[in-house]
Structures are given as structure tokens and as C-alpha cells.
Amino acid sequence: ATSTGKKAHSANYGIELIGAEDGKVVTRFPPEPSGYLHIGHAKAAILNQHIAQMYHGKMIIRFDDTNPSKENLEFQQSIIEDLELLGIKAERTTFSSDYFDTMYDLAEKLISEDKAYADDTPQERMRAERMDGIPSSRRNRPVQESLDIFENEMKNGTEIGLTYCIRAKISPDDPNKALRDPVIYRCNLTPHHRTGTTWKMYPTYDFCVPVVDAIEGVTHALRTIEYRDRNAQYDWMLNALNLRKVHIWDFSRLNFVRTLLSKRKLQWFVNEGLVTGWDDPRFPTVRGVRRRGMTVEGLWAFIIAQGPSKNIINLDWNLIWATNKKVIDPIAPRHVAVAAENPVVVTLAGAPEKPYTEKRPRHKKNPEVGEKDVIFAPSVLIDQADGQSFAEGEEVTLMDWGNVIVNKINKDDRGSVTDIDATLHLDGDFRKTKKKVTWIANTDDVVKADLVDFDLLITKDKLEENDKVEDYLTPQTEFHSSAIADSSVKTLKEGDIIQFERKGYYRLDKAPTATSPAVFFTIPDGKSVQRY
Ligand code: ATP
Ligand code: MG
Ligand code: MG
């Protein structure tokens, strides 16, 4: 894990589990391989690991792969990689599909004890009956009939089997609708990415999760609060099958404003070509936020600080980026970039005639960040805005170099500053100047940079159930500006996080080539104004 992660393990942040014995706690993170991990999943994974470690216990990663229509190997592989990157280390990785035989036997047992039945009520009607608390007409059919349907028709995926499902016989009309005879098995002929065509029917989440939790020795199942209504159902399954008790611990779902955290909805953006892929920097996926400049350490710190809160709130992205800034600020190397639009040429009298290079620290307060080569030259470039702010006769400071006296400011007929004549005044006191500006040597040895900023994909803080995503797409979500960066930027590797002084934090997404600029993504610093 990360240093922040490790530190956090010694504190419990108000997390306390009922019935937890030191050394014996087993938690599990159960991703469905139906998409790439998003930041909500990261929260679940981090909390599971954190809590297991708090009690010196273990965590299991379990692929909840019971719906072949949504799942595949690519997603499974990406989840394995992302968890590794997040520093999630499970005691073991398992698969719900490892237990298909066992679950089959257990479902058979439920049916034979008249605790479950085969139902072919059409879906719409079943939904309506459940809403109204009306028992299914199949509810009291003979056990043997249900067993036949399960063992022969459903198991073989016959035409008749496909019209059936198995429902737990809990209650037709309990006030808690989750208890109104939930479906525990249904047919699906789509081949499964691990078990192929061996199975034509699969357990549902409601049946599979409690059963596998109990079998795997999970002591504490962490679930997001929206599942609270289903806790009674979870307990019913364990009791009905005489399985070991598992404690449920609720935590709040992570939600962010103007953000969809659902694999299905993210898949829609991918399919529509509205993003470049699951790792798009506008996406709330683990890969997306990483590409945008979120660090593993920042993510851990943020999630552990959120910890046991059970409030369902729509968080502002600024919160998490502010946490991330605290992580990157002390270690991000400093570089300089000047806006490519109308840079001002400053000619320095008193400077050596030929450019020369000297080492400078890459971070003024942290020597561990190392040094960089800075080119000093008799002509430098500064931002137009800085040039505009100067007055003739004023003494200003060129950062990392020294003071200069501005002699003459030349403008074109539209008022743009074209160039400035100045004199180096290295004896001048930089503490006495008001303006300290960034600059780069005006030589060929510079790096062209494309600075990219992004906006969130949707315009509404929280989409409601009936809102159509199409109606709330942010019209423009990608913003480019060109810059000229100092030559030492050439030493950066893709993925490196830096600060362009006086501009902000950036992550190098693509290194420059002979024909293309370096592509830097703006890393939000927690204060940024939303554009839309
Ligand atoms: P999605 O709708 O995005 O597919 P899911 O819950 O169906 O989410 P799973 O792969 O089944 O996806 O989830 C794995 C674990 O992550 C579950 O324990 C789930 O509760 C948790 N989880 C999913 N979304 C969030 C979230 N926004 N905040 C916290 N935990 C989450
Ligand atoms: Mg799920
Ligand atoms: Mg979901």
C-alpha cells in the first residue's frame, strides 16, 4: 500500500465492527467483471482492505461472475490490474463461478424443503404481484414439480426451462419488498467466460452473495447502504440453508456531483464514442482519475478520511482533488511554460552573450526532487500577461535568475507587447520586487506543449431515475491551450506529475515527438472553477 494507507491502519477513524475478533476478521471485495473499476469500487476495495488490516484479518477478492450477459475476461483482467495498482492485496482471489456446483446443490435443497419454488409468471406480472403483495399462482405447487423444472428444464436450458425462474419462498407480502419471494436462479444461454456452456442457469446476486460469503468464511460483509432493505433477505438465505452467520456492515456509497458511477452508464458513454475509452481522463474510473493526475496515495487518504460515514451525499470533486494536491505539491518537480500565444521577447542587457546552462533545484523546498538544467540566455520569453503588467523603469524578478530593470516596452498597433528591453540587475533584492515572473530562454531548445483541461461530462448535479443522460451532456468538455515549455521537460516520462510554476499541476500524458507536442493534462487542485 501507500504510506498514507499504512499510516491509516493504526487509526480506526471511528470504524468498529460488531463481533470482530482480532486476527479473525475476513472481509471481501466482490466486483462483478462487467466494466472497469470506478472510484466507488475503489472505495469499497480500500475500505475492505483497511478494515481487514485494522483487525489483523484477511480480505478476499471475489469476482462475482454470475451473469454472463454482462461479464467478460477483459473486464476481469482490468480489475485485477487496477486493484494491484491501488495497492489492494487480497489473501486470495476467488470466483463465484467456483461455487456453481455447490450453489446448485443448495438451491436444490431449498426447493426440496419447500423453501423455494419454480415460477413461470411472466416478468411484468411478477413485478406487479410483488408490488401489490399478491402471491404467485405457482407459490404452492408441489415440491416435486419445482424440482423437476429446476433439475431438468432449467438446468438444460430447455424452451420450457427458459420461461422459469426459482424464487425463495419467504413472503408474498412482507412490508419489506426485498422479502417478497426474490428470484434466486434464472436461465441464461450466453456462454460464461469461465465455465463456458456448462451451465444454462445461474444464481442471482441475492442468493449467491450470502451463500458464498458463508462458504468462504467471510465474517463481515461490507455493503453499501442501498442494500439495507436486503439485509433481512441475506440473513434468511443463511438461516434457511443452515449456513454460518455473517455480519453485515453498511457504508455509504460514494457519489460525486455531475458524475455517473455505474458501469452500465459508463459503458454507454464508451459505446457512443463520447469518451476515448474507459481510461478517458473525464471518466470517474480508476484509470480515468489516474490519467487526470490522481495519485494512489491521494485516493487512499480521501477514502479513509470518508471512512465510516453513512450519509449519502453528492460530493464535490474539489474535495478529492484538494486531498490529492496535498500529496503532489511537496513532490511535483517545478517546470516553466509560457503561453504560446503572443509571448513577449525580453532582451537582457548585461547577460552573457551566449546561452549557458546551470543546475537548479526542481523543487525549492524539497531537495530530494533533484535538479534540472536551466538555460540562461540574453533573450528570454515571458507571458503576454506579465509583459502587459510591467511599467518602464520598474524592477522585476525573473524567477531562478534575478532582478531586471525594465527599460522599454514595445507594443504593436493592437496593444500587444511584442518585446521589452531590460537590463540585468543581479545585485537587486528579489524581496523588494512586486512581480516575480516565470520565463524561459528564447532559444530553439524548448518543448512545445499542449495543455489540456477538462470539464465533467454531464451538466446536472444529480441525475434522477427518469432523466435521460442525452439531455444533460456538457456541450464542451475538452479545452486546449498551447504553451512553450522549458527544455528540461524533455526529461519527463509519461505519467509524471509536475507543476508549471504559477500555472498549476499537470500530468504528462504523451511525451513530445519530432512532430507532436508534449500533451499535459491539467490536474485539478481543488479550487478550480467549473466551466459549464
Ligand atoms: P455498478 O453499478 O457501477 O456496476 P455495482 O455495485 O453493480 O456498481 P459491483 O462490481 O457489483 O458493481 O460492485 C463491487 C463492490 O463495489 C460492491 O461491494 C459495491 O457495493 C461496491 N460499490 C459499487 N459502487 C459503489 C459506490 N459508488 N460507492 C461505494 N461502493 C460501491
Ligand atoms: Mg453488482
Ligand atoms: Mg450498480
pLDDT of 5 > 50? The answer is: no
Q: What is the pLDDT of residue 7?
A: 39
Check whether 312 has a pLDDT greater than 80.
Answer: no
The predicted pLDDT at position 290 comes to 97
For residues 489 and 479, what is the distance between their CA atoms, to the nearest angstrom? 21
According to CATH, where is 3.90.800.10 located in the chain? Answer: 100-203
Per the listing, cell 454470475 goes with 66
Residue 18's pLDDT is what? 87
Helix (H, G, I), strand (E, B) or coil at 482: strand
Ligand nearest to C-alpha 63: 1
Report helix, strand or coil for 26.
strand
pLDDT at 179 over 80: yes
Instruction: Report yes or no: 423 and 396 within 8 Å, Cβ to Cβ.
Output: no
- Is residue 441 left, alpha or beta, with left meaning phi > 0 and alpha meaning psi from -120 to 50? beta
Selecting among 32, 129, 297, 395, the annotated active-site residue is 32
Using the mean position of ligand 1's atoms as its centre, give its distance from the Cα of residue 35 in Å. 11
Q: Is the pLDDT of residue 232 over 70?
A: yes
Other CB atoms within 10 A of residue 271 CB: 9
Give nearest CA residue, ligand 1 atom 23: 41
The one catalytic residue in 70, 109, 155, 253 is 253
DSSP secondary structure, 139-156, as one string: TT--HHHHHHIIIIIITT
| CATH code matching the domain that covers 334-523, chosen among 2.40.10.220, 2.40.50.140, 1.10.10.10, 2.40.240.10 | 2.40.240.10
Would you call 32 a catalytic residue per the annotation?
yes
Q: Which atom of ligand 1 is nearest to the CA of 222?
A: 18
Q: Could you tell me the distance, in angstroms and rounded to a whole number, from the CA of residue 307 to the centre of ligand 1? A: 16
User: Which band of pLDDT confidence, cut at 50, 70 and 90, is reported for residue 310?
Assistant: confident
Q: Is the pLDDT of residue 208 over 50?
A: yes
Task: Supply the DSSP symbol for 504.
Answer: E
Q: Quick one: how many helices (H) and strands (E) in the chain?
A: 14, 27
Q: Which residues pair with 411 in a beta bridge?
A: 417
Give Cα separations from 148 to 57, 118, 183, 208, 524 (angstroms): 43, 9, 17, 22, 60
- The CATH number that domain 100-203 falls under is 3.90.800.10
Q: What is the pLDDT of residues 265-292, one digit of tens each?
A: 999 999 999 999 999 999 999 999 999 9
Out of 84-93, 160-169, 227-236, 300-309, which region has the weakest mean confidence (pLDDT)?
Answer: 300-309
Ligand 3 center from residue 231 Cα (angstroms): 17
ipTM of the complex: 0.96
Instruction: Let me know the angle formed at the C-alpha of 336 by 330 and 337, rounded to the nearest 5 degrees.
Output: 130
Mean per-residue pLDDT of the chain = 95
Catalytic residue of the set 230, 263, 325, 334: 263
Q: Which ligand is nearest to the CA of 262?
A: 1
pLDDT score at 528: 72
CB atoms within 10 A of CB 371: 14
Spell out which residues line ligand 1, taking CB within 6 angstroms: 30-32, 35, 38, 40-41, 43-44, 64, 223-224, 253-254, 261-263
The CB density around residue 506, as the number of other CB atoms within 10 Å, is: 29
Q: Grid coordinates in use for 108? A: 436444490
Between 5-19, 47-61, 209-223, 298-312, the lowest mean confidence (pLDDT) is in 5-19
- 253 an active-site residue? yes
Contacts with 6 (C-beta within 8 Å, 6 or more apart), sequence order = none
Neighbours of ion ligand 2 (CB under 5 A): 32
Q: Counting ligands in written order, which one lies closest to the CA of residue 263?
A: 1
Q: Which residue has the cell 499542449?
A: 450
**Pairwise CA distance, residues 509 & 520, whole Å:** 6
Averaged pLDDT, 4-18: 57
pLDDT tens digits, 52-107: 999 999 999 999 999 999 999 999 999 999 999 999 999 999 999 999 999 999 99
Quote the pLDDT of residue 6.
39
The larger pLDDT score, comparing residue 251 to residue 240, is at 240
The single residue listed with the C-alpha cell 475509452 is: 277
How many angstroms is it from 316 CA to the middle of ligand 2? 24
How many Å lie between the centroid of ligand 3 and the Cα of residue 262? 5
Give the CATH architecture of domain 3-95+207-325.
3-Layer(aba) Sandwich (3.40)
pLDDT (tens digit, 9 = 90+) per residue, 472-484? Answer: 999 999 999 999 9
pLDDT digits (tens, 9 = 90+) for 388-439: 999 999 999 999 999 999 999 999 999 999 999 999 999 999 999 999 999 9
DSSP 8-state secondary structure symbol assigned to residue 343? P
d(CA 47, CA 225): 14
Phi-psi region of 447 (alpha: psi -120 to 50; beta: other; left: phi over 0): beta
